[in-house]
Chain A
């Protein structure tokens, strides 16, 4: 039995995951990174993307939106605004959100409104991450 690391995913609506896992892969600020057991203390911001972890043969994907993660005492804690399991994601809704965001992005490009654009971009990223998380399963 390989050593395990404790994974905690905490959102404003409560803890999403609290489990001992083998490996965690997450979208960090400077690119994706993986964390194994007994990692050195570490703190990084998190982008919108997919958090995956493995436990034995089991592999789970979560869509997470921005926040940060902290590794200390063999525990990795994610503080994110939202976390959704790939299998719970409503694909058709995410598709619609993606289309909506793309449309809005096109509109924002014409009117050069920077606030709307950043918002639409974030929405698009979330939608894409959702779709990816749903499809990888």
Chain B
């Protein structure tokens, strides 16, 4: 039987923990809201961008661009985007598991793999593979477009230099507040954007391009890559907070359960000690008779 004092301290401790998890839950939900807003603001940009890209690629021969060149895959690079902080359930470990599976797959096929880690958690857990080429840590809490640009420029330079033949992004897709899924997205070579049927193609023929379509593509493709990375980072940001919210919610309710259980233990222990004392008194009184 644990002593009364021990149980009491434990209850206090668990209650404090639940206070912290509750606070973290609220912070995460506030952050989630702002992350979602950021995503919402970014949406018109991406949709416009895709529209223009599909207009353009409808009108020109796409295979002539170095960033679109499809090569035999000998080396592959994975850009793994995770959060900087932990305590968000299995969110990061799911992403990393997906990455590790991908690495194992490529190893089996004899394809070389290099990694680029965005976010501290991914780097911490993947550095033991010895394949990390570059890492960007401590940028996930307040990243801007230029952070994404850095990642995208570096990856595309590596691609253009012929060191890798394919680049993929692994990140946490934000499906809803309750569901976040690790996702793999092809990054390089740039995939031609699918137009929405006949109508877009018709318009694209009438456009005046300044400078030529090829030169515009040269400018737009790197931008498009930035957009893709930025988008993935936004998704990870939102997913991280959503995952933390759920994790903290679970932690809070687990704390409550433990407190309930401990309270019963405490009450039982108190009752037992009272009974024991009563027995003592009764026993003593009996002996005096």
A residues lining the B interface (CB < 8 Å): 10-15, 28-30, 33, 40-45, 66-68, 70, 72, 77, 79, 81-82
Indicate which residue in A12, A41, A67 contacts B208 across the interface (CB closer than 8 Å): A41
- Are A68 and B230 in contact, CB atoms less than 8 angstroms apart? no
What 0/1 readout, one digit per residue, does chain B (202-214) give for beta carbons within 8 Å of chain A?
0100111111000
B interface residues with partner A (beta carbon < 8 Å): 38, 41-42, 44-45, 48-49, 52, 55-56, 145, 203, 206-211, 215-216, 219-220, 223, 227, 230
Pairwise interchain contact A10-B44, C-beta atoms closer than 8 A: yes
The answer to whether A44 touches B45 (Cβ under 8 A) is no
Give bound CA distance, A77 to B44, whole Å. Answer: 11
Q: Across the interface, do A41 and B44 meet the contact criterion of CB distance under 8 Å?
A: no
Classify the interface of chain B: helix, strand, loop or mixed.
helix
Q: Which residue of B lies closest to A40 (CB)?
A: B208
Q: Are A72 and B203 in contact (CB under 8 A)?
A: yes
Q: A30-B210, A45-B220 are in contact. List 19 more A-B contacts (CB 8 A).
A: A10-B44, A10-B48, A12-B145, A12-B227, A12-B230, A13-B41, A29-B211, A33-B210, A40-B208, A41-B203, A41-B208, A43-B52, A43-B56, A44-B211, A45-B210, A67-B223, A68-B223, A72-B203, A81-B145
Interchain Cβ contacts under 8 Å between A and B, 29 examples: A10-B44, A10-B48, A12-B41, A12-B45, A12-B230, A13-B38, A13-B42, A14-B41, A14-B42, A15-B44, A29-B211, A29-B215, A29-B219, A41-B203, A41-B208, A43-B209, A43-B210, A44-B209, A44-B211, A44-B216, A45-B210, A45-B211, A45-B215, A45-B220, A68-B216, A70-B52, A79-B48, A79-B49, A81-B145
Known: A45-B220, A68-B216. A77 touches B210 (CB 8 A): no
Report Cα–Cα, A72/B208, bound state, in Å. 10
Alpha-carbon gap, A14 to B220, bound state (A): 19
With contact pairs A68-B52, A68-B216 given, residues A10 and B207 touching in the complex (Cβ less than 8 Å):
no
Contact of B211 with A77 in the complex, beta carbons under 8 Å:
no
Closest residue of chain B to A46 (Cβ to Cβ) is B219
**Distance A105 CA – B230 CA, assembled complex (angstroms):** 28
- Minimum CB–CB distance from B15 to chain A (whole Å) comes to 41
- A68-B220, A70-B52 are known contacts. Are A42 and B45 too (CB-CB below 8 A)? no
Measured between C-beta atoms, what is the minimum distance from A34 to chain B in Å? Answer: 13
